[in-house]
Amino acid sequence: MEGIGTFVITLVGGLVMYAIINWVVKEPGRQLQRKFIKLGDLRGKHKDEIVQVVGPPQSISAVDESTILLQWTATGYLIALIFEADICKGINQEIAT
């Protein structure tokens, strides 16, 4: 009977630790996502307005001569926005885990 009690305590402790670690690791992504949500509809917003709220992008890629793709990432969250002449045209990709 003692072995079962130890097993249950170990199992519950492991699950609690997993939940805590999972929350801590993904919190930066949740914070970034909340900042984007606060901005509301991103279409039509100037790049500088977005950067002022969420910080600089981690990646900038040229799509063509007038279009760029900016990406922000944090553990558990990624968002990629399309810009033409520094005006956001919309979300190209968004992933939240």
Domain boundaries, the chain: 1-96
Sheet of strand 59-62, all strands in order from the earlier edge strand to the far edge: 59-62, 67-74, 77-84, 87-96
- Dig out the tokens for 67 from the structure: 């279009």
Instruction: Look up the pTM and report it.
Output: 0.81
Could you give the CA distance from residue 80 to residue 68 in angstroms, rounded to a whole number?
Answer: 10
pLDDT for position 1? 54
pLDDT for position 37? 97
* Domain 1-96 listed as CATH 3.40.50.720: no
Instruction: For residues 33-59, give the mean pLDDT.
Output: 98
User: CA geometry: angle at 63 spanning 82 and 84, to 5°?
Assistant: 45
